[in-house]
Amino acid sequence: MPAPVISARDIVNRFGSQVVHDGVSFDVQRGEIFGVVGGSGSGKSVLLRTLLGLRRPDSGTVEVEGRVITAMAETELREIKRRYGVTFQHGALFTSLTLAENVALPVVEAMDLDEDALARLVELRLRMVGLPLDAAAKYPAQLSGGMVKRAALARALALDPALLFLDEPTAGLDPIAAAAFDELVLYLRNTLHLTVVMVTHDLDTLARTCDRVAVLVDRKVIVDTLPGIVDNEHPWIREYFHGARGRTVTAARKDVHGA
Amino acid sequence: MDFRAEYDPTGLRLELSGSCRMADLPALEPVLAQVRAEAPDALAVSLGKAQEFDIGPAWLLHGFLADLHGRGATVTITGELPEHFPYLDELRGREPEQAAPSAAAGPGWLVSLGQAIVERGKSWYGALVFGGQLLATTSAAVRSRKRLRIPSIVRHAYETGVQAIPIVSVIAFLISVISAYIGQQQLRPFGAEIFTVDLVAIGVLRELAVLLTAIMVAGRTGSAYAAEIGVMKLNEEVDALESMGLDPYEVLVLPRVIGLVIAMPLLTIVADFMGLAGGGILTRYLLDLPWPQFFTRLEAAIAPTTFWAGLIKAPVFGALIGLTGTLRGLQVRESSRELGRLTTVAVVQSIFLVIFADALFAMFYLQINF
């Protein structure tokens, strides 16, 4: 079994006396789309920030591509951060820059290239995420929600990362845009061999894209394939996946098993 | 990795060996540019076996080869093309080539001037609308205790007044020390040193205390008001208020303005004290003046009007600063740069208006002999 891309061991995160994660351990394999699910307050964002190196856990280690990021100094960590791409829940595009400038920014900061090469690279990223080229000169305030999400993904892909972190990528998108985004993520994973860690509430996205899912519950994590999770006995998991909105997931599972 | 373009007996040859990641682009791009500049009719491209290409470099190579084909050059390729090429073929084929919008020629100077004038006119009109809206809101709000939002007023009076006491005290103290020093220096040759007391007292009470307090408050509170309300606009919080049927002028603007109008005179009194203290202490030691004599001179130098002349200006300055800060905050939309710009405008305009008003007051006092 090849070495996992991300390896989290015994992560403990606490805020004062409140413990959010109490010994969370899991691996993310290369090339998989790894979903992270949990109720509000279960610490999904905190976990994501821990994996990204934005937060040092109170104890435990995180290894990314074999390097222990929890033990690294800030400058070394910055180099690692260039190896992955991140999208944030509300896009987090720089509002005073155009779309083209946003997408070009990681490249501009990492190296010196002439304008023509930069423009071509921006065009590449826009095409990859399905944005029209005439959107390049627009400011984030002029873009629709779906376009902002795609633009954020374009920026995350700017340095051809091997690893992609998506925080609620389909939140706020209409079903058509959300489905298109799912297909995009799958396509990119298949063609670029990316590893994707996705925090999401969207059951349709989970069913369509994720190879394995980590459920944050009771300050620990349960990791399994989606069918395995759906069958899990834990009361919260049962309510999450078998409640009124769980139809898609259980139906998808039936398709896999029954087809 | 090794990228080079050179002439050999067969013609121009582009050699790309080794992997090409995004980080290698600064090495690849100049070589491609070099070949483009040569505009060859024939090019031999030599790649190795199964080289690792990131998508970015693969795309640039893809585009480079497409450009050459487009110009009718013959390209012979040995070795394996990057594995991404089929995907890139599909990407390129997805929609017709759209030229990136070219930067339009800049507007002429007359157009720019006209635009600036129109913008300035709109700005004044906006201020007029703001003023009218606020008057309407105020007349409605004062009729009801709840709508006057006294807790909010108290909070703003506290933040703009009480929390500013330390900084205002220090500034007033120091400024008056400086003017005492200069005054004493200039009066000494005339044997009129004792009038330094007059200079300090009248200077502080009539002008320095209130003006410097207002300038400090303009920086501190003018920017805070503009930034707070500006961020609320960016977060759609102001829209949320309006959608609930609440009047943002009543909820956000009025309490801030009233709070500051209350705080300013109180701060000015603090500044008066600290100014007299600072100047007094320095004068006492520079002139070697015993305290009883100092106080006698002080009493002779000032009249009630000295104190009131300064204090009356305080609520006026407070209103100017509060109105400017909140007006600019409400104008923020769309981007963080706008927020920065309008916060700056709020501070600069507050200070300007305060000094302008001070000048008007000076002329007014002169006319009525106050």
* pLDDT tens-place string over residues B258-282: 999 999 999 999 999 999 999 888 8
Contact A95 B334 (CB under 8 A): yes
Residue A189 and residue A85: Cα distance in Å, rounded? 13
In DSSP terms, which residues pair with B13 in a beta bridge?
B6, B44
What tens digit of pLDDT does each residue of B138-152 get?
888 888 777 788 899
Contact B334 A159 (CB under 8 A): no
* pLDDT > 60? residue A256: no
Global ipTM: 0.83
Contact A133 B98 (CB under 8 A): yes
Q: Does any CB of chain A come closer than 8 Å to the CB of residue B21?
A: yes
What tens digit of pLDDT does each residue of A93-139 get?
888 889 999 999 989 888 888 899 999 999 999 988 888 889 999 98
| Among candidate residues B305, B307, B311, B313, the one with its CA nearest the CA of residue B361 | B313
Q: Does any CB of chain A come closer than 8 Å to the CB of residue B94?
A: yes
Q: In chain B, which residues have their Cβ closer than 8 Å to the Cβ of A121?
A: 56, 59-60
pLDDT band, residue B130 (cuts 50/70/90): very high
Residue A141 and residue A176: Cα distance in Å, rounded? 22
* pLDDT > 60? residue B70: yes
What tens digit of pLDDT does each residue of A201-241 get?
888 899 899 999 999 988 888 888 888 888 888 888 888 88
With an 8 Å Cβ cutoff, the interface of chain A facing chain B consists of 94-96, 100, 107, 110-114, 116-117, 119-121, 123-124, 127-128, 132-134, 136-137, 139-141, 159-160, 191-192
The radius of gyration of chain B from alpha carbons, rounded to an integer in Å, stands at 35
pLDDT band, residue B286 (cuts 50/70/90): confident
Residue A64 and residue A197: Cα distance in Å, rounded? 12
Point out the least confidently predicted range of B133-147, B205-219, B289-303. Answer: B133-147
Q: Does any CB of chain A come closer than 8 Å to the CB of residue B231?
A: no
Return the SS3 of A54: coil
Q: In chain B, which residues have their Cβ closer than 8 Å to the Cβ of A135?
A: none
Q: Side by side, which strands form the sheet with A6-15?
A: A18-28, A6-15, A59-64, A67-68
The answer to whether the beta carbons of residues B222 and B338 sit under 8 Å apart is no
pLDDT band, residue A1 (cuts 50/70/90): low
Residue B269 and residue B204: Cα distance in Å, rounded? 11
**Can you give the pTM of this predicted structure?**
0.74
Q: In chain A, which residues have their Cβ closer than 8 Å to the Cβ of B29?
A: 113-114, 117
